[in-house]
A = this chain, B = another copy of it.
Amino acid sequence: MERDIFENISPLDGRYYRGSVGLSNQLAGYLSENALIRYEARVEVALVSVMERHGIVASGAGREMLDAYKRITPEEVYKEEEKTHHNIRALVNVLQRYVSPDVAPFVHLGATSEDITATAQSLRLRDVFFTVVIPKCLDFTDSLLEIAEKEAATPQIGRTHGQHAVPITVGYFFSGYADRFGGRLLKMADAAEDLRGKLSGAVGAYNATSLLCPDPRGFEEEVLSELGLKPADFSSQIVEPEYLLDLVHAVLSAFGVLAQISDDIRNLQRTEIGEMGERFEKGQVGSSTMPHKRNPWNFEHVKSMWKEFVPRMITRYHDQISEHQRDLTNSASGRFVPEIIAAFVLSCDRLLRQFEKLVIDYEGIETNLRKTEGMFLAEPLYILLASKGVASAHEEVKQITLRAQAENKSILEIARSLESLKDVSDSEIWKALEKDPASYTGASEARTHEICAKWQERLSVLRKKVAAYKAEL
């Protein structure tokens, strides 16, 4: 059923699809309705294969199912659903057409629809994480680490409340993003790996499979293991919702780190701040009539997407409740989960592209650092004085800063002139700070390297896991 994508109402399948066709198609390979049907068919294959191994169905049945799986098309299934008004029944009917009469009665036998759907859902989500989401996040974390390492020693004014505080380095600030995002990435990987399937029947009590084999829980484990999954610790008609819930939480909390990054960079790109920003190609202008404009629109876009998707967590919490052995009120809503993943990956990719060409305005950074003429050295002045046991250190420095403002002098100048500060102002530490106030960056550089090294190692472990996973597919 073809349709002009611009007739779609969803921005993800309309405007934003067009802006990212390659990645969107990759995602659709797992997250679309077509993909779901293919995954569901794979679960049906696994079920019959294990039945064969148990002697429930004739030998060769698994092989027949695998062939059938390759021959059916989603179109056929959709057409059949028009008759059955039931998607899994439609799939079963179509599969039965492609197997022998001996095998046909055994297709889907012992399973309830949700056994197939829930298992397929876990399978495709795990796959999309290990083949698309995690690799993209690894690349993104790499881009953060790269900037962090490169700028580990570039001083920059630290800001709290939007006000100048004391200096950090550009690299340190990126190492913090990497640390937070990396942490979320590990959470996502763990949660994706822990997605579960089920084959426990209509109410989760293995009623039907108990009739087919003596150890229905073992049978369930065997079928799921064919697909590389484990069964839920408990299931009613549905898999316990908390496995998926934890994954969505991991995704949305990772999205939050993207939002923080976006906010920070677009603030640093303000006309008055001008420390970094999106690259503009030679000749490109921000607005036809306002050439001074450099709109951080990609960062704004990511913030906006985050705003749109975060509240959807509430629906996930609400989907934890499914009355008794299940009601259907988590079904339609559950179908919107893939959009969250798509929006996150598209946003991550967008930032990645920005960071590959991020403009850092070193001159702007330095201008801002110097803006208060070292006023931030009040902090080390106070620390040094107090650490010599001067009880009035705090008040003394406060008076100096007030004088600096009143007399429009630099704090350095005044500090140097005071006899009472001689011990401090003659110390090596103070002399170094006097010479280069911007060097007051604490452990920024050292910590940047430590954090980067830690993450290089952690990411390398995750990369190996991803490679192993892909090799198995």
Contacts and interface: CB of A to CB of B under 8 A. Distances in A.
B9 A325 contact: no
Interface string A74-92: 1000100000000001000
A136 interface: no
A300 interface: yes
A308 to B, nearest CB: 4
A32 B56 contact: no
Contact of A211 (B301, B397, B429): B429
Nearest to A8: B13
Given A18-B78, A233-B451, A292-B164, A10 B7 contact: no
Interface in A310-364: 310-315, 317-336, 338-339, 342
Given A8-B33, A314-B310, A315-B307, A290 B378 contact: yes
A303 B329 contact: yes
B332 A301 contact: yes
Contacts of A201: 166, 442
A402 B267 CA distance: 25
A301 to B, nearest CB: 5
A210 B380 CA distance: 10
Interface string A349-388: 0000000000000000000100110011011111110110
Interface residues of A, number: 181
Given A12-B10, A207-B442, A329-B303, A163 B293 contact: yes
A289 interface: yes
A205 B290 contact: no
Contact of A320 (B12, B161, B260): B260
A272 interface: yes
Contacts of A296: 161-162
Which of A271, A301, A386 has the largest number of chain B CB atoms within 10 A? A271
A255 to B, nearest CB: 8
Interface in A151-202: 158-169, 172-173, 175-176, 179-180, 183-184, 187, 201-202
Contacts of A271: 159, 162-164, 368, 371-372
A387 B159 CA distance: 46
Nearest to A338: B9
A469 interface: no
Contact of A208 (B101, B173, B442): B442
A68 interface: no
Contacts of A272: 270, 272-273, 368, 371
B9 A324 contact: no
A104 interface: yes
Contacts of A208: 379-380, 383, 442
25 contacts: A7-B28, A9-B27, A10-B10, A15-B33, A102-B389, A158-B325, A159-B271, A159-B323, A161-B328, A162-B271, A163-B286, A165-B293, A166-B201, A167-B203, A176-B204, A183-B242, A205-B447, A207-B380, A264-B324, A285-B401, A288-B397, A304-B329, A310-B318, A311-B313, A312-B312
Please provide the 5 A-B residue pairs with the shortest distance between their CB atoms, ordered closest to farther.
A291-B401, A158-B203, A10-B10, A256-B320, A207-B442
